[in-house]
Every structure is written in C-alpha cells, then in structure tokens.
Amino acid sequence: MATPAPPPISPPGSAPRRGGIELPTIREVPLTAPLAWLAAGWRDLWRCGWLSLVHGLALAAFGALLLALARDRFWLLAGAFSGFLVVAPVLATSLYALSRALEQGEPVGVATIFKTWTRWQHSRYAVRGGYWSMVRFGLLLSLAGTGWVLTSAALVTLLAPAPVNTPQDFLQHVVLARSGYLFELWLTLGGLMAAPLFASSVVSMPLLLDRRVDVLQAVLTSWQTVLTNPLPMALWAALIMGLTLLGMATALVGLIVVMPWLGHASWHAYRALVDASRLTERLPPVEVA
C-alpha cells in the first residue's frame, strides 16, 4: 500500500491552513500571561472611564432584573446566570472596539460604541467575512446559552427531591443533598458544555471584530489557541469564572467593574495570542462590506 503523501507545507510568509482554511499564527505564551492581560485591561478600563463602566452597569441592571423575575424560581436563575457567561463574549464587543481604538491611538467615545453595534446593518448578508459573521456567531452563542438554561432548569425541577425556589433550597436540595448525584450531574453537564464553548469563543469575537474572517475561521483559530496554550488558557478560564462569581457575590455591584475589566482584558488576550497580521483588516464599511 502506498504511503500517504504528507500535507503541503505553507511557503514562508503565508498563513497556516487547516483543511484549506487560512488561519492566523498562534503564539505560545507563558503561564502567567493572563495576569498581564488583566493588568492591561485594568488600564483600559480607567482610560475609557464611564464608557466602560456603563457596560458593567447595564449588565448588573440586567442581572437585577433576572433576580426580580426569577425571585421564587431559583432553578431558572441558576441556569440563567451561568448561561450569561456563554454570551458574555458577544456582549463585550464594544469593549473590544474601545481597546482596539486605544491601541491604535484613535479617540474613543460614544461614536465608537455606536458604530460597533450598527455597522452590520450596512453589510451584505452573503459577503464572506463581512460584519454578518459577527451576528451569526452571536446568534450561535445565544442559542447555546438558551440551551443550557433550559437544560439546567429541567435537571433541577425534575430531579431535585423537593421544589427549588430559593438559593437556600438550591443549597439544601441540590448542593448538599444526601442522596443522589444531582449537583454532580449539574456540574458535569455544565462543564461539558462550557469547555468546548470556551474553546470556541475565547478569541473568536475579537478576531471577527479585527479581521475579515468568517465564523469557521474564528472558531478554528480559537480552538488552535487553546490547544497551543492549554495551561495559560485554563488559568484564564479560572480567572474569568472567579472574578465573575466575585462580582455576583457582591449583590451584582461588583459586576459594574468586573465585566468591563474582563472585556478589555479579553482584547489583550487576543492580541497576545493571535498574530492576525496576514489576514485582511476589517475596515469600516462605506455602504456595503
């Protein structure tokens, strides 16, 4: 039997390819790199001031609304708050744009945020790598988040030995239940969903904002980033989870600072991990993208 030919080697100066799809170069970073991203994100947070904090205020207000609507239905609230982490990369899009503008020495203001969220309207739907790629990716994450909320609610309501209506009920009948393995099952399913979603989205949205790539390119790049830097990315995931839980534990007030901080830091994570210089830069559309 003939020996299969090795895959073609990309010529010097060309971008790496996976299955014929052009991907940017992924850099290896040290384990402590996430701490540098947090430091850079902290600087951007205070350079942008209220422009960043208003994002955190809006997210905290949304969390308060969830608390009010699901006050006596904690089985729903637990899934909603954990599902929030799934769509967070989309909600932070304008924070990436603010950090990008600071990096390029451009002025930042309300116009930066407004243009970030409205440019897709001037793009043709079928253009490969257009602004609609960001919309598609956002919809995919939203569907994944909704799926987890429904899964979490079904698990708790169907398998809990007693109704779960308050945080105390969740602690007593799910976390500290003497029989069954509901909490372990809840955590396992959440982890099985969260891990691939984190790997698919950790640099995807910043890349989609920065370069003319489609959703598949962005997701493959994100996976390659995690596979190239497993330990730093595990630490980054733990820091994101820990800081978010800290923000929630302060009656959501801490989210006003934590969420924009993590958004800006995520931009610096993307810049440190991904060398996208060979890919076409995403420039503002005039009328069509």
pLDDT of res. 18: 59
CA separation for the pair 209, 207 (Å, rounded): 5
Cα separation, 282 vs 289, in Å, equals 9
8 A C-beta contact, residue 239 and residue 40 = no
Instruction: Please give the chain's pLDDT, 289 residues, in tens.
Output: 444 433 433 333 345 655 567 889 999 999 999 999 999 999 999 999 999 999 999 888 888 887 777 667 766 666 666 666 677 788 889 999 999 999 999 989 998 888 888 776 556 555 666 677 877 887 888 788 778 778 888 888 888 888 887 778 878 888 888 777 888 888 888 888 888 989 999 999 999 999 999 999 999 999 999 999 999 999 999 999 899 889 888 888 999 999 999 999 999 999 999 999 999 888 765 444 4
**Residue 269 pLDDT:** 97
Of the candidates 179, 164, 180, 232, the one whose C-alpha atom is nearest the C-alpha of residue 203 is: 232
CA distance 43 to 201: 24
What pLDDT score does 234 carry?
Answer: 96
**Contact call for residues 123 and 288 (beta carbons, < 8 A):** yes
Amino acid identity for residue 155 in this structure? L
Convert 209-243 to b/e letters by CB count within 10 Å (16 or more is b): bbbbbbbebbbbbbbbbbeebeebbebbbebbeeb
